[in-house]
Amino acid sequence: KHHHLLWLAHQTPLERSMLILIGVDESQLPGQSNFGGKIQHAALVICFQKLYVSFMFRQYEPMKASAENYFIYEDSTNTWSLLYVHTAQAFISGLAAYWMFRKSKDPKWTHKASKSKLMMKKWAEVNEWNFQNKLYLMEAEEAFCYDDTASAKSLYEKAISSARE
């Protein structure tokens, strides 16, 4: 029973996100459950999926609200069992944090983004093929946040080149 609930806690929010991304009206989808608090990662996964969908649709306010909740759960949840999705979460939440810093100039977002970038840097050292382009993109976003357009442009180009390799 526990394994089934664990699978549902991870897959149901993902399925919901995919349906929204392909155009299904969110109001037609069933509500989300955190499984009565029985699975501590369910809230983290739900918050990340909401952040992801809002980020993809460039909806700043819903993304910001979801990010606030996501980072609270991320800081207080042992995420060791989410390793298979943790790289995507670090990448998207880091990009979202850079965007929120550009709009708000609130330094808490650079702290969150830097934490995500540090994780990406560690992964890029181990597996350059998968993570170097993402690291370059995060570094470009950071440079863009500080109006360093020359560095940002160079890093965006490196990200594109690295992704093609």
pLDDT for the residue numbered 82: 45
pLDDT score recorded for residue 138: 98
pLDDT for residue 61: 96
Q: Is the dihedral of CA 60, 54, 156, 134 positive or negative?
A: positive
Distant-in-sequence, close-in-space partners of 49: CB < 8 Å, separation ≥ 6: 13, 14, 16, 17
b or e along 130-147 (b: 16 or more beta carbons within 10 Å of the residue's beta carbon)? ebbbbbbbbbbbbbbbee
pLDDT in tens, the chain (165 residues): 556 766 777 788 888 898 999 999 988 887 776 555 556 677 888 889 999 999 999 999 999 999 998 898 887 776 554 455 788 889 999 999 999 999 999 999 999 999 999 999 999 998 899 999 999 999 999 999 999 999 999 999 999 999 998
Per-residue model confidence (pLDDT) at position 12: 84
Alpha-carbon distance 120 to 115, whole Å? 9
- Please tell me the pTM assigned to this model: 0.81
Q: What is the DSSP string of 99-128?
A: HHHHHH--HHHHHHHHHHHHHHHHHHHH-H
